[in-house]
Structure 1
Amino acid sequence: MSDEHPTDDARAADGALLARFAAGDQAAARLLSAQLLPRVYAHALRVMGNAAEAEDIAQEAMLRLWRQAPDWDPARATAATWLYRVTANLCTDRLRRRPTVALDAVAEPPDPQPSAAQRLQDAARLDALDAALQTLPDRQRQAVVLRHLDGLANPEIAAILDIGVEAVESLTARGKRALAAALARDREALGYQDD
């Protein structure tokens, strides 16, 4: 059994591969890249949170390893340890160059929920519409609800009400006019300013 530490074996193996690369052996470069590049890329991605930046950093780290190959000293570290250190430093450098903004300078994101005033107005509009719908004759009310609130097409409505498409068109047109007239008096109170 050898007295060498497993890291010593890794250092020797890395040193041999880097020496082969420095001598022009592209197979050694491919082998080291296959072993190390995915690891340093994953590390950079976790730190940076951006795939494009992580890819740039991992490639730069590998280029620096290739530049070190002719002078590589296997006694100092494994290639993986050295690459992780270089990757960490490159990440730190990039993070420092990112623009920073004071928290107070960041605008509050808009609330996607309607305001309380908007919710009250929407409720008032729905109440007014429901009341106006109740003033329509039954068939008109059904046609208007199916067409304009449920979004069904006229042929579907005709089949549901068992009438012709022209009758649906007539019912919905008359129903819309009656609703407009019923809601006209409350137009301003409901917040409708346009036509």
Structure 2
Amino acid sequence: MALKSTIYKAELQIADMDRHYYGDHSLTIARHPSETDERMMVRIAAFALFASERLEFCKGLSDTDEPDLWQKDLTGQIETWIEVGQPDERRIAKASGRSGRVIVIAYAGRTADIWWQGVKGKIERLRNVTVWSLEEGVSDALGKLAERTMRLQLMMQDGEASLGSETADAVELRWSVLKG
């Protein structure tokens, strides 16, 4: 018998002064049985950082043809494709051809650095791909925010962001841009 996804609910308030985006989102997140709290919370942070009215969670780990998040236009074309983790270069190239913009958010410190060195030469030529790497410890701290029902707030100003909850201190979201 296959294990089922665990459902998490999050009320997310966003105040992104850099993009002038302010919104409240009621999120339902399906956490795949093989997914950690850390990865799920990085997905939520990615949603918060790039939030829009049409950004949505996808099947992610359950479907190899979909990213973790995407934003489609009104005709169904993919505008933004967001991957969390360390996808292989073929997946990134395929996403680059299918969407207007691809964003990869790597995490896990040294492991992400090793992954980047392996794929860097193959994806640098892809013009619509952006790669960020969360700084060491950020994803661990995000994982500690995970609860089955969450009330989260993202504050973004002058390129600095923090994600917090009612029950825990805010996590400063620090990253380096590996490919802009």
TM-based fold match above 0.5: no
Q: Which structure has the larger Rg?
A: 1
* TM-score, normalisation: structure 1: 0.21
Name whichever structure is richer in strand by fraction: 2
Name whichever structure is richer in helix by fraction: 1
- Work out which structure has the larger RCO, using CA pairs closer than 8 Å and 6 or more positions apart in sequence: 2
* TM-score, normalisation: structure 2: 0.22
